[in-house]
A and B are shown apart, each in its own frame.
Chain A
């Protein structure tokens, strides 16, 4: 006989893991955010600071700049990955020679750890040694130096992320496209719909759940990018690629400003949730217009 107790017993391990590894650290970070705590300060103890750390955030130009940079980075990588991923998924829906091999090669970046991706791109970009600066200079006359030019560094981090994560988008969209029923497309063809109308009125609505899921996954990933960028640019030149994850890491670890770092982390989490919520409301939860 099934009883609620049996259900809770089965759920208990999962709940325990969630509480220990999810809830407790979250509460700890939330509490630390209300204290001044730097172990290398004259007073290394926790000193209650109320909401002072949150007030500091509002006037912290570097924090605000990091948030702005992260939003720009996220916008460009997610948009590009969706477009390129969709085009590649459409390509893989067709038959062409060596399709299997090409699909395997295309998926390889996903298997590489982000830190290794950053290292590989760094080697590609070293002025005087790496192939990228060499060919960009030879073919287009571009003086490519990540350490000197902010816009080059920003664009390179975007391109690197697109290279790394587009295969994930392709694979998920490919799964969505493969699962689509043929009938609506056949009906549209019979009714004389052109390619754009078929895409807009049939393909996109059918693909919407997959697209939204993929967008959310990539959005949250992009907002917390650290390792690839840390390896490639270290957040530089200057602070041009110091995205929020990297900025928080620098404040919490090398600067050991634990209280402020905790407040920053919570504020970033809040902004991420808000962004996702706005997106959710905009894309999913919007009420259908009355006809």
Chain B
């Protein structure tokens, strides 16, 4: 062996021994810190999403093996998750030791003082503070889970953007491109604005009919009895028309145009008309589709383009046991109205939803220390890469640089790169303490617009008036 080879072998040996020692030291910490809580069972509830299921199936098991702390991890539907968590925290029954906190509900939880201050708890109890958990390693998304004092109240566990997915096999097919150009006069490519998106939707719906395919031009997350439709409009459609924060004036909480809001503005009406109009180019299940069914429709090859929550991108693009469009998925920024991108780049708005969630420990938990240990375990840098590869979520800055993530990035046609480079164009939900209350009050008008029992314009006029009435009743609205 020459000198260079010898040095390399020595360096490798040192690296391996250091890594093994660190791993051993880490394991020793978890075992020691968990010693007082060994054998107890902590309970958590979360939404059944790719990220949560990974935490349940992989991370919770690893944690239990290392600590002897058992975890009962319930993953359920979005509605049920909130129902259970809020009832538990409201009643102070202490059933759950950690709960899922979606970014849009954190402000309601903080206003009700439901959550334990994680930063302060770890300072107060250094014996459970893991040396491998470093909050500074989080991306800026963690800021959404901080209180006014800058302390962390939720351990970020997923962060993703709602992207525009399209079928590369269709968009790059020479014959299809030729047909498209002949009909619309421009080269088929991911839509930059709503007009282009509509033309693509119309084209592929017709293409599906002409070729006897189960193919439509777009998905629409338009369940007419589930808040998913409301969210698609206020989070992903209205902002691309320049209507932000659900159309509420965040100083006075006005919603109507006459009082200074934008919920029933011309832009908002244009947006809702466009979105409802897309239903004629969407699969028949669209009026029953929530976020899950939209992902399922696209993965089943039933739509040429879609707005899909990014947490689904990895499995849609790479898992051939669940998806029929593996290797055929492209990602792009959602289409916007002319002029809106300039507004967003100037920091005056956002293009779509930067979604995500965290796990928090309720004050009512009976096993706070054990729950905090688990939350730190999933907040470590070491567990992030596999999680990101499996569930297309990134909460740590260095995750993007890992070769496995970069490999997955290639398979998803650049989803991770898009999130890293263009994530700044997306925004989390506005800081409403009345989030669920207002949604419940006005969502029925959107359902009625979907079924066509009222026009989109009427729906927004009624929703805006109802929003002001509800916010006045709740004591937030200022005249």
Q: Which A residues have a C-beta under 8 Å from some C-beta of B? A: 38-44, 62, 126-129, 133, 143, 145-150, 233-242, 250-251, 253-257
| Contact, CB under 8 Å: A128 / B302 | yes
Looking at the assembled complex, report how far the CB atom of A32 sits from the nearest CB atom of chain B, in whole angstroms: 13
On whether A254 and B284 interact (CB within 8 A), knowing A42-B474, A236-B226, A237-B225, the answer reads: no
The CA of A250 and the CA of B442, in the complex, are separated in Å by 12
**Which residue of A is nearest B83, CB measured?**
A253
* Interface residue stretch chosen among B21-29, B38-46, B60-68, B448-456: B448-456
**Which residue of A is nearest B452, CB measured?**
A148
The CA of A183 and the CA of B226, in the complex, are separated in Å by 58
The CA of A114 and the CA of B87, in the complex, are separated in Å by 22
**Does B405 interact with chain A (Cβ within 8 Å)?**
no
A-B contact count (CB 8 A): 113
| Contact, CB under 8 Å: B436 / A238 | no
**Which residue of A is nearest B289, CB measured?**
A147
The CA of A148 and the CA of B214, in the complex, are separated in Å by 19
Q: Chain A CB within 10 Å — which of B108, B214, B222, B440 has the most? A: B440
Q: Which of A40, A62, A233, A239 contacts B433 (CB 8 A)?
A: A40
**Does B184 interact with chain A (Cβ within 8 Å)?**
no
**Does B134 interact with chain A (Cβ within 8 Å)?**
no
Q: Which of A38, A239, A255 contacts B448 (CB 8 A)?
A: A239
Looking at the assembled complex, report how far the CB atom of A221 sits from the nearest CB atom of chain B, in whole angstroms: 22
The CA of A43 and the CA of B474, in the complex, are separated in Å by 8
> Please, which residues of chain A bring their CB within 8 A of the CB of B434?
40-41
**Does B50 interact with chain A (Cβ within 8 Å)?**
no
> Please, which residues of chain A bring their CB within 8 A of the CB of B223?
147, 234, 236
The CA of A256 and the CA of B83, in the complex, are separated in Å by 10
> Please, which residues of chain A bring their CB within 8 A of the CB of B287?
145-148, 237
> Please, which residues of chain B bring their CB within 8 A of the CB of A148?
224, 287, 450-451
Looking at the assembled complex, report how far the CB atom of A141 sits from the nearest CB atom of chain B, in whole angstroms: 14
The CA of A261 and the CA of B262, in the complex, are separated in Å by 30
Q: Which B residues have a C-beta under 8 Å from some C-beta of A? A: 79, 82-83, 86-87, 90, 108, 111-112, 214, 222-226, 283-289, 302, 433-434, 436-437, 439-441, 444, 447-448, 450-451, 453, 473-476
On whether A150 and B453 interact (CB within 8 A), knowing A41-B474, A233-B225, A237-B225, the answer reads: yes
On whether A256 and B450 interact (CB within 8 A), knowing A234-B223, A234-B226, the answer reads: no
| Contact, CB under 8 Å: A236 / B436 | no
**Which residue of B is nearest A232, CB measured?**
B225
| Contact, CB under 8 Å: B436 / A237 | no
Looking at the assembled complex, report how far the CB atom of A195 sits from the nearest CB atom of chain B, in whole angstroms: 46
Q: List 11 A-B contacts (CB under 8 A).
A: A40-B112, A126-B288, A127-B283, A128-B285, A145-B288, A147-B285, A150-B451, A150-B453, A241-B225, A250-B440, A253-B87
The CA of A289 and the CA of B108, in the complex, are separated in Å by 64
| Contact, CB under 8 Å: B476 / A39 | no
| Contact, CB under 8 Å: A238 / B108 | no
| Contact, CB under 8 Å: A238 / B224 | yes
> Please, which residues of chain B bring their CB within 8 A of the CB of A39?
90, 112
On whether A40 and B288 interact (CB within 8 A), knowing A234-B226, A253-B87, the answer reads: no
| Contact, CB under 8 Å: A256 / B436 | yes
